[in-house]
Amino acid sequence: MTPASIEDYREAARRRVPHFLFEYVDGGSYAETTLARNIDDLRAVALRQRVLRDVSSIDLSTSLFGQSLAMPVALAPVGLAGLLARRGETQAVRAAEAAGVPFCLSTVSACPIAEVKAAASQPFWFQLYMIRDRAFMRDLLAKAREAGCSTLVFTVDLPVPGSRYRDRRSGLAAAPGLGASLRRAGQVMARPGWAWDVAVNGRPLSLGNVAPLLGPRSGLEDFFAWMGRNFDASVTWDDLDFIRSEWTGPLIIKGVLDVDDAVRAADLGADGLVVSNHGGRQLDGVRSGAACLPAIAAAVGDRLTVLADGGVRSGLDVVRMLALGAKGVMLGRAWAFALAGGGQAGVAHMLQLMAAEMRVAMALTGVTRIADIGPDCIDRG
- What is the DSSP secondary-structure string of 29-50? STT-HHHHHHHHHHHT-PBPP-
- Band the pLDDT of 299: cuts 50, 70, 90: very high
Instruction: Report d(CA 42, CA 311) in Å as an integer.
Output: 7
Instruction: Compute CA distances 201 → 83, 105, 182, whole Å.
Output: 11, 22, 21
108-112, 119-123, 345-349: least confidently modelled range? 108-112
Instruction: Report d(CA 62, CA 70) in Å as an integer.
Output: 7
Instruction: Report d(CA 30, CA 27) in Å as an integer.
Output: 9
Peptide bond into 294 cis (omega under 30): no
Q: Helices marked H in 256-314 — which ranges?
A: 259-267, 289-300
**What average pLDDT score do residues 288-311 get?**
98
- Span 8-34, pLDDT tens digits: 999 999 999 999 999 999 999 999 999
The residue with greater pLDDT, 39 or 133, is 39
Instruction: Report d(CA 137, CA 200) in Å as an integer.
Output: 31
One-letter amino acid of 65? F
**Which residues are catalytically annotated?**
278
**What average pLDDT score do residues 92-115 get?**
96
pLDDT for 204: 85
8 A C-beta contact, residue 254 and residue 286: no
Instruction: Report d(CA 166, CA 364) in Å as an integer.
Output: 39
Cα angle 57-58-59, degrees, rounded to a multiple of 5: 120
**What average pLDDT score do residues 350-367 get?**
98
Say if residue 54 is exposed, middle or buried (CB neighbours under 10 Å; 0-12, 13-18, 19+): exposed
Q: For residue 213, is pLDDT > 90?
A: no
Instruction: Report d(CA 49, CA 97) in Å as an integer.
Output: 33
What lies within 8 Å, CB to CB, of 245 at 6+ separation is: none
- Band the pLDDT of 302: cuts 50, 70, 90: very high
Helices (H) then strands (E): counts for the chain: 16, 10
- Percent of residues, the chain, with pLDDT higher than 90: 81
Sheet holding 328-331, edge to edge: 73-75, 328-331, 305-308, 272-275, 251-256, 152-155, 125-129, 104-105
Question: Which CATH number is associated with domain 6-369?
Answer: 3.20.20.70
Give the total residue count for the chain.
381
Cα angle 55-58-59, degrees, rounded to a multiple of 5: 150
- Band the pLDDT of 216: cuts 50, 70, 90: low
Instruction: Compute CA distances 130 → 156, 230, 235, 326, whole Å.
Output: 7, 9, 7, 25
- Residue 74's DSSP bridge partners are 330
Does this model's pTM top 0.85? My answer is yes
Instruction: Compute CA distances 84 → 70, 169, 298, whole Å.
Output: 26, 19, 38
pLDDT for 371: 97
Q: For residue 261, is pLDDT > 70?
A: yes
Across the chain, where does the E strand assignment appear? Answer: 62-64, 67-69, 73-75, 104-105, 125-129, 152-155, 251-256, 272-275, 305-308, 328-331
pLDDT for 221: 61
- Band the pLDDT of 53: cuts 50, 70, 90: very high
121-135, 164-178, 196-210, 347-361: least confidently modelled range? 164-178
8 A C-beta contact, residue 65 and residue 327: no
Instruction: Compute CA distances 212 → 47, 63, 127, 140, 333, whole Å.
Output: 49, 36, 18, 11, 28
For helices 289-300 and 315-324, the axis angle rounded to 10 degrees is 40
Q: For residue 91, is pLDDT > 80?
A: yes
8 A C-beta contact, residue 297 and residue 326: yes
pLDDT for 232: 78
pLDDT for 143: 96
**What average pLDDT score do residues 132-149 get?**
92
- Band the pLDDT of 171: cuts 50, 70, 90: confident
Domain ranges in the chain are 6-369
- Span 313-354, pLDDT tens digits: 999 999 999 999 999 999 999 999 999 999 999 999 999 999
